[in-house]
Chains A and B, each alone.
Chain A
Amino acid sequence: MSDLPSLTAHDLACRRGDRLLFKGLNLRLESGRGLWLRGRNGRGKTSLLRLSAGLGAAAAGELRWGDEPIKRSESFRHQRVWIGHQNALKEDLSAIESLQFLARLHGRRHDLPAIQAALAAAGLQDRARAAVRTLSQGQRRRVALARLVLEDEPGLWLLDEPYDALDVDGVRWLGGVLRHHLARGGSLMFASHLPAEADGPVVDTLDLDQQA
């Protein structure tokens, strides 16, 4: 198992408009660890995830991947997986085509059997050829999250409300995927409002309500 660098934030501050969401935030996310971001709406969970993904600039402080700043790190570009609130699927493409495009774009396995297997793992084998337009919100979320199944190497997963719109089966499936990811040495940061699942991944929590 290769050693995944750790993500560190030092004295991080984030500003939205003229409002300071958080400041002086320090964190260290090591290989094999998960971090669950909690906090009320508007506390900056999504902003922290976006900053960690390299979207946007911090008001102060720095995020590093190993010993390099994330924006300059070549390995970070390959090892970071960001699934935001939006699913990044195209209404007019089928689930297979959408997922295949994302996998190809990110340089992951994108042959048809691999894509079909990923969708089957997400419980969408019957709907794989259907246009995304015809899928429900929960099914769309599953297609977006099926990308995680195509991740062969442990990396840093940044997931914004991954459980959003998922049903009970979906939550259990995702919990299993995340547990497996942590067990093989990947690292994970996610925001969620759901109470911790009994069989979900074992994670540390960061409560942003106490950061402001």
Chain B
Amino acid sequence: MTYVKEEIGFVAILARDLRLASRRRVDILLPLGFFVVAVSLFPFGVGPEPNMLRQIAAGVVWVSALLATMLSVSHLYAADHADGSLEQMLLSPRSAYAIAAAKASAHWCLTGAPLVLCAPLLGLLMDMNSQALLILTATLLLGTPILSLLGGLGAALTLGLRSGAVLLILLILPLCIPTLIFGAGAVSAAESGVSVEAHFSLLGALLLLTGLAAPWGTAAALRIAVE
């Protein structure tokens, strides 16, 4: 009796990662904690002038979310690589593409989604108005999956390297720049009264493109890592 369907592999890996995370809840709070601390450092650094904070708020929240994602993604494959699970996944009848997509999805559920939920609160802290908050949250909702997918690619490429975490950030941050530009740009566009439709279309296009290409690259990198 064999059950071979791609979605079963995807669901099995996603469910296992979520279950593992539920056994280690503190790990979920760490990137979130970093995000909150990083954003709240800015009023101390640039001064508590509300106009200034309002102007930089979207950019600050976006950059902090980006860094929180990159810091947490560096260990995405490390444990599975060390205990032999990754080998078993790659040798299973499931496609490596589905494995990479499942791992990136799990990362988004555990890191990206909490960041999106937390962002409006931090925006409020930076004196953003309700319209800007709404747009900020919406761009993060579209943008954080891109970051998880790119981060997964970086984690696979740097798997097994000693200073993998730093290398990952150097490799992947440049790829995140377009997402950052359109994500943070949408909020400033709205504030200056310009339509944000183009920003959202471009973010959506980036998400589709990354969703198609990143798991494929991740899969190739993982195959090299287990050899």
Instruction: State the A residues within 8 Å of B (CB).
Output: 53-57, 77-78, 80, 82, 84-93, 97, 101-102, 104-109, 152
Contact = CB atoms under 8 A, between A and B. Distances in A.
A82 B91 contact: yes
Given A55-B226, A93-B16, A152 B85 contact: no
Interface string B150-170: 000000000000000000000
Chain B residues touching A, majority SS: helix
Contacts, number: 75
Nearest to B90: A55
A105 B92 contact: yes
B91 A54 contact: yes
User: Which residue, of A54, A84, A88, has the highest number of chain B Cβ atoms within 10 A?
Assistant: A88
B9 A105 contact: yes
A97 B9 CA distance: 15
Nearest to A106: B92
Nearest to A110: B3
B1 interface: yes
Taking residues whose C-beta sits less than 8 angstroms from the other chain, chain B's interface range is 20 to 34
B87 A90 contact: no
Nearest to A87: B84
Contacts of A53: 91
User: Which residue, of A92, A108, A109, has the highest number of chain B Cβ atoms within 10 A?
Assistant: A92
Contacts of A77: 91, 93
Interface stretch (B19-27, B53-61, B109-117, B130-138): B19-27
Interface string B68-101: 0000000000010011110111111110000000
A84 B90 CA distance: 13
B4 A107 contact: yes
B49 interface: no
